[in-house]
């Protein structure tokens, strides 16, 4: 009898998280619709892009990972 009670308690504890993940029916249907997104002003967007300065040198995202090859090793490869 004790084993049966422990088994039922274990199943109840395992079923609780699964029930929470499923959403529980129509609870989500009561939410209000999402507000409308504001319209994008194309002229302001293009003007902002023109104000961004152009970089002087190309950006290297892997530049800090490995040191640059030495001039001697570059000359040997040629």
- Sign of the C-alpha dihedral, residues 30, 35, 36, 42? negative
Residue 26 tokens read as: 């129509």
Tell me the C-alpha distance between 47 and 52, whole Å.
9
Q: How far apart are CA 68 and CA 72, in angstroms?
A: 12
Q: For residues 51 and 44, give the distance between their C-alpha atoms in angstroms, rounded to a whole number.
A: 11
The pLDDT profile of the chain, 78 residues, written as one tens digit per residue, is 999 999 999 888 777 666 666 665 565 556 667 778 888 899 999 999 999 998 888 888 888 887 766 655 555 665
């Amino acid at each position: 009898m004790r084993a049966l009670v422990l088994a039922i308690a274990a199943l109840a504890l395992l079923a609780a998280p699964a029930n929470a993940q499923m959403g529980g029916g129509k609870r989500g249907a009561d939410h209000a619709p999402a507000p409308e997104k504001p319209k994008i002003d194309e002229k302001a967007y293009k003007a902002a892009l023109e104000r961004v300065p152009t970089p002087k040198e190309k950006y290297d995202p892997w530049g800090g990972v490995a040191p640059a090859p030495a001039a001697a090793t570059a000359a040997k490869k040629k």
